[in-house]
Amino acid sequence: MGRQMVFPISLWHILLIFCINPPLPASAQLRRNFYATVCPNVETIVRAVVTQKFQQTFVTVPATLRLFFHDCLVQGCDASVMVASTGNNKAEKDHPENLSLAGDGFDTVIKAKAAVDAVPGCRNKVSCADILAIAARDVVALAGGPSFPVELGRRDGLSSTAASVNGKLPQPTFNLNKLRVLFASHGLDQTDMIALSGNDTKLPL
């Protein structure tokens, strides 16, 4: 490919926060070897799918990172942003603020989940939340950034509603103080806020 995306150092810090010490449901406990006995090759499987998708389109990088960020800010890193709406429920992904999420991010996770479930021992054992976290780490490395260990054990969210997105994502109308408060609630400082919001990241919120 030969093409690399240049991110500020603070963006690696943000990804480390969400991948290693993310907002989680209270019942989730993360560890490196979470799938060691049921799906020991899960990271290798996901990496192969992400690499193939990256080779098809570089949009995979910002699309996957933005999907991960929007997921984590709403109800914790539980992949609830992946859930489709039904006749009687409008899900997170169909909230107006998530309609701009690129389809390549969703496609990356869906294909990786299918590849994992194609392995008999892994079928229905690995959460989409963990697959999204692994994929986010892998696109960082493919874009020329560092690779880092991702602790696993996230549980997929059982609830996904458009209403839950309200007030959880940065708004164009937010002043500096509101942005600081929002990002601080997730352990992010002003430098992190600028990295995620600025044009230099090529990763608009």
Could you tell me where the DSSP H helices lie in the chain?
A: 9-20, 42-56, 60-75, 103-117, 128-142, 176-184, 190-197
Q: Give the tokens for residue 97.
A: 């603020």
Q: Work out the mean pLDDT of the chain and round it to a whole number.
A: 82
pLDDT of 24 strictly over 70: no
CA distance 205 to 160: 20
The residues carrying an active-site annotation are 70
Per-residue pLDDT tens over the stretch 95-118: 999 999 999 999 999 999 999 999
pLDDT of 32 strictly over 80: yes
Provide the pLDDT for residue 75. 87
> What's the mean pLDDT in 196-200?
48
CB-based contact 115:126 (threshold 8 Å): no
54-92 b/e with 16+ CB inside 10 Å = b? beeebebbbbbbbbbbbbbbbbbbbbbbbbeeeeeeebb
Q: Which residues pair with 89 in a beta bridge?
A: 86
Per-residue pLDDT tens over the stretch 61-93: 989 988 998 998 898 889 999 999 999 999 999
Provide the pLDDT for residue 26. 42
pLDDT of 166 strictly over 80: yes
Sign of CA dihedral 103, 107, 109, 110: positive
Provide the pLDDT for residue 17. 54
How many Å is the maximal CA-CA distance in the chain? 51
Per-residue pLDDT tens over the stretch 144-163: 888 888 999 999 998 999 99
Provide the pLDDT for residue 205. 46
Provide the pLDDT for residue 204. 42
Global pTM reads: 0.81
